[in-house]
Amino acid sequence: MSERPLNGLPRVYPILDGAALERAGIDWISAAESLLEGGAEILQFRHKAFWSREVVESAARVAAICAAAGVPFVVNDRADYAAYIFAEGGRAAKIGLHLGQDDLEPGDARKVIGGEIFIGYSTHNETQMRAAEHEPVDYVAFGPVFGTRSKERPDPAVGLAGLRAARALTARPLVAIGGITRDNAYHCFEAGADSVAVIADMIPQPCTRKNLRERMIEWRQLNSR
């Protein structure tokens, strides 16, 4: 575990996906501000394409907005940019790094980011879940629980039964990922998830700042029951 462990996770884990935001016609900053106004308690910055200077600057700005709100900010995949953002002023809030199976292994990423950035780690089957128990990570994500369109080549859906089995394999915070919606999130909590990561169902149509803020409020109300 890191020297700055993450003390639990909020039940709703919004992910700012660059491609999804572009399709919806809203920028990173507006989306982040709207979600935080709606009560988001964590934000992940996910960008699967090339990290241009503009993208890095957007990530740093979202990190600063999160810091001002006292909300953890998570960089997807990139240990180097997580370390850079932390060094450039992210110390006022918790900074995290979320790694996938094709990224740096958590132990190697820890050499890049040091001990003050927490790490999340995506897993997709029992073998990966068991291996994650030996890695320096603060939470584990498991899925896709349901079918998802946010990845070009998604792993097979594990279903709720797979999520229950994963719960039995770790005492760390467990995040359900993949195809999570307002209609099925409750079942994920019943299956043992501490948190649900949401991309597509966090983005309303049309995606205005007002609608995005209200969607976040709806998610918080839905999953506070």
- The confidence score (pLDDT) of residue 90 equals 53
Bond before 144 cis per omega within 30 degrees? yes
Instruction: Determine, yes or no, domain membership for 1.
Output: no
Instruction: Determine, yes or no, domain membership for 3.
Output: no
Q: What CA–CA distances, in Å, run from 133 to 81, 120, 128, 205?
A: 25, 12, 9, 39
- 119, 123, 195, 201: which is closest to 162 by C-alpha? 123
Instruction: Determine, yes or no, domain membership for 133.
Output: yes
**The domain that contains 199 carries what CATH number?**
3.20.20.70
Instruction: Determine, yes or no, domain membership for 205.
Output: yes
User: pLDDT at residue 20 above 60?
Assistant: yes
Number of residues that this document lists for the chain: 225
* Token couple for 74: 């998570």
Instruction: Determine, yes or no, domain membership for 176.
Output: yes
Instruction: Determine, yes or no, domain membership for 4.
Output: no
Query: What are the pLDDT digits (tens) for 48-82?
Result: 999 999 999 999 999 999 999 999 999 999 999 99
Count how many domains the chain has. Answer: 1
Give this prediction's pTM: 0.94
Instruction: Determine, yes or no, domain membership for 5.
Output: no
User: pLDDT at residue 150 above 60?
Assistant: yes
Q: What is the DSSP string of 30-67?
A: HHHHHHHHTT-S-EEEE--S---HHHHHHHHHHHHHHH
Instruction: Determine, yes or no, domain membership for 6.
Output: no
Domain that holds residue 21: 12-222
Give the pairing type, strands 12-17 and 195-198.
Answer: parallel
